Amino acid sequence: MYGKGLIKGLGVTFIRYWNTYWDDITWFVGRKGKKYYSPEGIAHRSSKNARGIFTVQYPEEKLPVPEEFRYVPFLVFEEGPDGEKNIRCTSCGICAKVCPPQCIWIVRTSDPATGRPVPAPAEFTIDADICMNCGFCAEFCPFDAIKMDHDYEISSEKRNVHNKQMLMKPLSYYAEIRPLNYAKEEAARAEKAAAKAAKADA
Protein backbone atom coordinates (compact mmCIF):
# COMPACT_ATOMS: atom_id res chain seq x y z
CA MET A 1 0.00 0.00 0.00
CA TYR A 2 1.36 3.42 -0.96
CA GLY A 3 2.01 5.70 2.02
CA LYS A 4 2.23 2.87 4.57
CA GLY A 5 5.74 3.92 5.64
CA LEU A 6 4.62 7.53 5.87
CA ILE A 7 1.73 6.64 8.18
CA LYS A 8 4.03 4.47 10.30
CA GLY A 9 6.53 7.33 10.60
CA LEU A 10 3.84 9.80 11.56
CA GLY A 11 2.61 7.31 14.16
CA VAL A 12 6.08 7.16 15.76
CA THR A 13 6.24 10.97 15.77
CA PHE A 14 2.82 11.20 17.36
CA ILE A 15 3.70 8.64 20.08
CA ARG A 16 6.88 10.59 20.91
CA TYR A 17 4.88 13.82 21.00
CA TRP A 18 2.22 12.26 23.25
CA ASN A 19 4.78 10.62 25.56
CA THR A 20 6.57 13.93 26.02
CA TYR A 21 3.49 15.55 27.58
CA TRP A 22 2.28 12.37 29.30
CA ASP A 23 5.61 11.97 31.07
CA ASP A 24 5.47 15.62 32.25
CA ILE A 25 1.87 15.15 33.46
CA THR A 26 2.62 11.95 35.39
CA TRP A 27 5.54 13.67 37.13
CA PHE A 28 3.36 16.65 38.00
CA VAL A 29 0.32 14.62 39.14
CA GLY A 30 2.39 11.93 40.86
CA ARG A 31 4.33 14.63 42.73
CA LYS A 32 7.58 12.77 42.14
CA GLY A 33 9.50 16.00 42.49
CA LYS A 34 10.86 18.26 39.80
CA LYS A 35 11.53 16.62 36.47
CA TYR A 36 14.06 19.36 35.66
CA TYR A 37 16.78 20.82 37.85
CA SER A 38 16.71 17.92 40.28
CA PRO A 39 18.87 14.78 40.79
CA GLU A 40 15.71 12.60 40.61
CA GLY A 41 14.75 14.20 37.31
CA ILE A 42 18.22 13.63 35.84
CA ALA A 43 18.23 10.01 37.05
CA HIS A 44 14.84 9.49 35.38
CA ARG A 45 15.72 11.20 32.11
CA SER A 46 18.99 9.28 31.77
CA SER A 47 17.32 5.94 32.51
CA LYS A 48 15.51 3.47 30.25
CA ASN A 49 12.24 4.72 31.77
CA ALA A 50 12.56 8.08 30.03
CA ARG A 51 9.76 8.71 27.55
CA GLY A 52 9.21 11.27 24.83
CA ILE A 53 11.48 14.16 24.02
CA PHE A 54 13.26 16.17 26.66
CA THR A 55 16.21 18.47 26.95
CA VAL A 56 19.00 18.67 29.48
CA GLN A 57 19.31 22.16 30.91
CA TYR A 58 23.10 22.30 30.49
CA PRO A 59 25.19 23.64 32.22
CA GLU A 60 22.86 23.73 35.25
CA GLU A 61 22.09 20.05 34.65
CA LYS A 62 24.51 17.38 33.48
CA LEU A 63 23.70 13.81 32.62
CA PRO A 64 25.93 11.35 34.49
CA VAL A 65 28.41 9.68 32.16
CA PRO A 66 28.92 5.89 32.11
CA GLU A 67 32.11 4.45 33.61
CA GLU A 68 33.61 3.70 30.20
CA PHE A 69 33.09 7.27 28.95
CA ARG A 70 36.39 8.56 27.55
CA TYR A 71 37.72 12.08 27.38
CA VAL A 72 41.24 13.48 27.40
CA PRO A 73 43.62 11.22 29.38
CA PHE A 74 45.23 12.04 32.70
CA LEU A 75 48.30 10.75 34.52
CA VAL A 76 47.75 8.79 37.72
CA PHE A 77 49.85 9.51 40.79
CA GLU A 78 49.87 7.75 44.16
CA GLU A 79 50.12 9.86 47.27
CA GLY A 80 53.05 9.06 49.55
CA PRO A 81 52.93 9.20 53.36
CA ASP A 82 54.33 12.76 53.33
CA GLY A 83 51.93 13.92 50.63
CA GLU A 84 54.43 13.42 47.79
CA LYS A 85 53.02 12.69 44.36
CA ASN A 86 54.47 9.43 43.07
CA ILE A 87 53.62 9.40 39.39
CA ARG A 88 53.18 5.91 37.97
CA CYS A 89 54.49 6.83 34.53
CA THR A 90 57.97 5.54 33.74
CA SER A 91 58.22 7.56 30.52
CA CYS A 92 58.54 4.33 28.52
CA GLY A 93 56.97 6.10 25.56
CA ILE A 94 54.56 3.32 24.53
CA CYS A 95 51.51 5.60 24.73
CA ALA A 96 53.20 8.19 22.51
CA LYS A 97 54.05 5.47 19.96
CA VAL A 98 50.52 4.05 19.76
CA CYS A 99 48.70 7.41 19.78
CA PRO A 100 47.08 7.60 16.32
CA PRO A 101 47.21 11.42 15.88
CA GLN A 102 50.61 11.62 17.66
CA CYS A 103 49.53 14.20 20.22
CA ILE A 104 51.63 12.97 23.17
CA TRP A 105 55.12 14.33 23.83
CA ILE A 106 57.33 12.97 26.62
CA VAL A 107 60.72 14.10 27.90
CA ARG A 108 62.38 11.53 30.14
CA THR A 109 64.13 12.60 33.35
CA SER A 110 67.92 12.29 33.42
CA ASP A 111 70.10 11.85 36.45
CA PRO A 112 71.93 15.20 36.72
CA ALA A 113 75.10 13.52 38.00
CA THR A 114 75.42 10.61 35.61
CA GLY A 115 73.18 11.70 32.75
CA ARG A 116 71.56 8.27 32.83
CA PRO A 117 67.82 8.05 32.19
CA VAL A 118 65.49 7.94 35.21
CA PRO A 119 62.14 6.13 34.76
CA ALA A 120 59.93 9.20 35.26
CA PRO A 121 58.79 11.94 32.89
CA ALA A 122 60.42 15.36 33.21
CA GLU A 123 57.73 16.67 30.88
CA PHE A 124 54.56 15.06 29.62
CA THR A 125 52.33 16.95 27.21
CA ILE A 126 49.07 16.10 25.49
CA ASP A 127 47.52 18.34 22.87
CA ALA A 128 43.90 17.93 23.93
CA ASP A 129 42.67 19.70 20.79
CA ILE A 130 44.18 16.92 18.68
CA CYS A 131 43.41 13.99 21.02
CA MET A 132 40.57 11.93 19.56
CA ASN A 133 39.77 10.23 22.89
CA CYS A 134 40.38 6.78 21.43
CA GLY A 135 41.81 5.39 24.70
CA PHE A 136 44.74 3.58 23.02
CA CYS A 137 47.25 5.22 25.38
CA ALA A 138 45.38 3.91 28.46
CA GLU A 139 44.87 0.53 26.83
CA PHE A 140 48.55 -0.01 26.01
CA CYS A 141 50.18 1.51 29.12
CA PRO A 142 51.86 -1.38 30.99
CA PHE A 143 51.83 0.51 34.31
CA ASP A 144 48.20 1.70 34.58
CA ALA A 145 49.71 5.16 34.59
CA ILE A 146 47.47 6.91 32.09
CA LYS A 147 43.67 6.75 32.21
CA MET A 148 40.81 8.28 30.29
CA ASP A 149 39.09 11.14 32.09
CA HIS A 150 35.39 11.92 32.49
CA ASP A 151 35.91 15.70 32.58
CA TYR A 152 34.67 17.00 29.24
CA GLU A 153 34.41 20.67 30.21
CA ILE A 154 37.76 21.86 28.90
CA SER A 155 36.74 24.39 26.26
CA SER A 156 38.73 27.60 26.37
CA GLU A 157 39.69 30.51 24.15
CA LYS A 158 43.24 29.20 23.93
CA ARG A 159 44.76 25.96 22.62
CA ASN A 160 44.19 23.10 25.06
CA VAL A 161 47.73 21.86 25.49
CA HIS A 162 47.94 20.02 28.81
CA ASN A 163 51.30 19.83 30.56
CA LYS A 164 52.36 17.35 33.24
CA GLN A 165 51.01 19.41 36.13
CA MET A 166 47.63 19.73 34.44
CA LEU A 167 47.52 16.03 33.59
CA MET A 168 48.36 14.66 37.05
CA LYS A 169 45.43 13.38 39.12
CA PRO A 170 45.41 11.19 42.24
CA LEU A 171 44.64 7.48 42.24
CA SER A 172 41.60 8.22 44.45
CA TYR A 173 40.13 10.28 41.59
CA TYR A 174 40.58 7.34 39.21
CA ALA A 175 38.91 5.02 41.76
CA GLU A 176 36.00 7.44 42.03
CA ILE A 177 35.27 7.80 38.32
CA ARG A 178 36.04 4.20 37.30
CA PRO A 179 35.29 2.05 40.37
CA LEU A 180 34.88 -1.27 38.51
CA ASN A 181 38.07 -0.86 36.50
CA TYR A 182 39.97 0.22 39.60
CA ALA A 183 38.73 -2.78 41.62
CA LYS A 184 39.67 -5.17 38.79
CA GLU A 185 43.16 -3.73 38.48
CA GLU A 186 43.76 -3.73 42.24
CA ALA A 187 42.63 -7.38 42.46
CA ALA A 188 45.04 -8.33 39.64
CA ARG A 189 47.83 -6.38 41.35
CA ALA A 190 47.18 -8.17 44.68
CA GLU A 191 47.11 -11.55 42.94
CA LYS A 192 50.42 -10.84 41.22
CA ALA A 193 52.01 -9.73 44.50
CA ALA A 194 50.75 -12.87 46.28
CA ALA A 195 52.11 -15.10 43.51
CA LYS A 196 55.48 -13.32 43.71
CA ALA A 197 55.57 -13.71 47.52
CA ALA A 198 54.67 -17.41 47.25
CA LYS A 199 57.46 -17.93 44.70
CA ALA A 200 59.97 -16.18 46.96
CA ASP A 201 58.95 -18.38 49.93
CA ALA A 202 59.25 -21.61 47.92
Would you tell me which residues interact with ligand SF4 (CB under 6 A)? Answer: 73, 89-95, 99-101, 103-104, 106, 126, 131-137, 141, 143, 145-146
Q: How far is the CB of 199 from ligand SF4 (least distance, A)?
A: 25
Q: How far is the CB of 112 from ligand SF4 (least distance, A)?
A: 21
Q: How far is the CB of 153 from ligand SF4 (least distance, A)?
A: 17
Q: Which is nearer to ligand SF4, 23 or 74 (CB)?
A: 74
Q: Which is nearer to ligand SF4, 42 or 137 (CB)?
A: 137
Q: How far is the CB of 136 from ligand SF4 (least distance, A)?
A: 4
Q: Which is nearer to ligand SF4, 42 or 126 (CB)?
A: 126
Which of 166, 178, 86, 107 is CA-nearest to residue 138? 178
Q: What does the DSSP assignment read for 80-142?
A: PTTS-EEE------HHHHH-TT--EEEEEEE-TTT--EEEEEEEEEEETTT-----HHHHH-T
Q: Which amino acid is at 199?
A: K
How wide is the angle at C-alpha 98 spanned by C-alphas 64 and 122, nearest 5°?
85
The three-class DSSP label of residue 35 is coil
61 with 24: CB under 8 angstroms? no
Q: Which is nearer to ligand SF4, 95 or 177 (CB)?
A: 95
Q: How far is the CB of 179 from ligand SF4 (least distance, A)?
A: 21
Residue 56 gets which letter from DSSP? -
Q: Which is nearer to ligand SF4, 23 or 144 (CB)?
A: 144
